[in-house]
Amino acid sequence: MLKASVIALSLLAPVATLLPLGASADVDVDLVLRVPPPAPRYEAVPPPRPGFVWTPGYWAWRGNTHVWIGGTWTAARPGYVYVQPRWVERNGEWHFTHGGWARHDKDNDGVRNGRDADRDGDGVPNWVDRHPNVNGR
């Protein structure tokens, strides 16, 4: 019985790094991997459609591989902005955060300014922006 348990644990241990993690109060992370996503694919954005927002494509994790999810038109939601799904590397791990709709805020980055990921509103997240407060926000 002990031998069977040890074998089962040794087989499941590598899979444990691929399991989704629960979201925390500080970071809205849905999945953590040690496998980096491929480079984003170029997608030509179709002409604008009234009442719709273009949601760009992204790499999702399905099974044991990254799968490209193509961009699409989504019905606009007045008072909200669309936040794209994203992968962020931290300490050798890749953290995936699902996109979705967020209440509109003053700098249009989709994050309430108390937990703002782009304080100066230049489209570059604070963690990679060399000057995250350049506009004094």
Query: What pTM value is reported for the model?
Result: 0.55
User: Does residue 125 sit within a domain?
Assistant: no
Determine, yes or no, domain membership for 16: yes
Is 116 a domain residue?
no
Q: Is 21 in contact with 31 (CB distance < 8 Å)?
A: yes
Is residue 37 pLDDT above 90, yes or no? Answer: yes
Considering its fold, how many domains does the chain have in total? 1
DSSP strand pairing (93-97 vs 31-33) = antiparallel
In a domain, 81, yes or no: yes
Asked whether residue 137 is assigned to any structural domain, the reply reads: no
Does any domain span residue 80?
Answer: yes
27 has pLDDT over 60: no
Show the 3-state SS of 50-99.
CCEEEECCEEEEECCEEEEECCEEEECCCCEEEECCEEEEECCEEEEECC
**128 occurs within a structural domain:** no
Q: Give the other-Cβ count within 10 Å of 66's Cβ.
A: 19
The residues with which 113 forms a beta bridge, in sequence order, are: none
pLDDT at 130: 72
State the residue range of the domain holding 23.
2-104
